[in-house]
Amino acid sequence: MATTPLEFKARRIGNVNWLGLWTFYLREVHRFFKVFTQTVAAPAITTLLFLVIFVVALGREGRVILGLPFAAFLVPGLIAMAVIQNAFANTSSSLIIGKVQGTLQDILMPPLSNVELLVGYVLSGTTRGLLVGGAVWLSTSFWPQVIALPANPLSFLYFTVSAAVMLSMLGVITGLWAEKFDHAATITNFVIQPLSLLSGTFYSLERLPGVWAQVSAFNPFFYMIDGTRYGLTGVSDGDVLMGAAITLALNVGLFLICLQLFKRGYKIRP
């Protein structure tokens, strides 16, 4: 009895390689999940320790900021900080590891466009940032005087996701530029951490002298943290609508910059 030979046909990808994008995203998520205690659990615990230390040191006598108990004022900033730092760390470390181990060329071989590569990196960084931020939110919701449920859920979601996306793209730019981990650590220590710490996380701008309050208005991290605080508590230290517009404009600009770097093959193609 004759058998019909199997026919192999080329798979049509279409305008978007959805399968390839999903596979690449899962690869990046699996990469940081393999060391879950280091990439998710440890940052969440460290951020929780910030809450304990600062509340014990500064909030024991019923300190109130912007009409909120100190713990309720502090927690949204800690959530945003956790999102910011871990989203940046994920994308920057992934690209640098690829360079150091010589595996980055393997990422460029599959039929993934520059947009799909960028989206895959950004989505994975956003996932890690939101996971850590969610862990901080959940663990701090049991703290006395902390507001657990968002007063403005849409604002809370918008600013946390915007923060994760923005820092994921900054991590991509850093990862493309850096040749080794020391270069990325320089950006983390001298740019990311100072901007996040000096952004109204632990204090209100109304306590700053006029000049320094105006300087803080140029810190994009302030708007992300202030927007997160508004979403969770309903109280803000600045103009929330302006903050939403600024974060959206910055994300669009960073996306175009990252896309141009991928198109040029900046430090990833010979």
Whether the predicted pLDDT of 133 surpasses 70: yes
Confidence of residue 95 (pLDDT cuts 50, 70, 90): very high
17, part of any domain:
no
Global pTM exceeds 0.85: yes
For 107-124, write each residue's pLDDT tens digit.
888 888 999 999 999 999
Whether the predicted pLDDT of 212 surpasses 80: no
Is the dihedral angle over the CA atoms 241, 243, 246, 251 positive or is it negative?
Answer: negative
Q: Which of these, 270, 265, 269, 253, lies nearest to 114 by C-alpha position? A: 265
Q: Alpha helices of 102-237 — where are they, by DSSP H?
A: 104-108, 114-140, 153-177, 181-187, 193-197, 210-216, 220-233
Confidence of residue 192 (pLDDT cuts 50, 70, 90): very high
From residue 41, alpha-carbon distances to 73, 144, 184, 198 in Å are 23, 22, 22, 25
Is the dihedral angle over the CA atoms 188, 192, 195, 201 positive or is it negative?
Answer: negative
87 or 59: which carries more pLDDT confidence?
87
Q: Which of these, 196, 189, 232, lies nearest to 92 by C-alpha position? A: 189
Q: Which of these, 165, 188, 162, lies nearest to 175 by C-alpha position? A: 188
Rounded average pLDDT over 85-106: 91
For 217-228, write each residue's pLDDT tens digit.
789 999 999 999
Give me the domain span that covers residue 239. Answer: 26-264
203, part of any domain:
yes
Strand partners, 68: 65
Say which amino acid occupies 79.
I
- Residue 220: what pLDDT? 92
19, part of any domain:
no
6, part of any domain:
no
205, part of any domain:
yes
Say which amino acid occupies 103.
T
CA distance 188 to 182: 10
Rounded average pLDDT over 219-247: 94
How many domains, the chain? Answer: 1
148, part of any domain:
yes
Whether the predicted pLDDT of 3 surpasses 60: no
DSSP symbol at 207: G
5, part of any domain:
no
Rounded average pLDDT over 197-218: 79
177, part of any domain:
yes
Q: Which two tokens stand for residue 161?
A: 């996701």
Q: Which of these, 165, 124, 154, lies nearest to 249 by C-alpha position? A: 165
8 or 98: which carries more pLDDT confidence?
98
3-class DSSP assignment, residue 3: coil
Whether the predicted pLDDT of 261 surpasses 90: yes
Ranges 165-179, 188-202, 226-240: which has the least confidence: 188-202
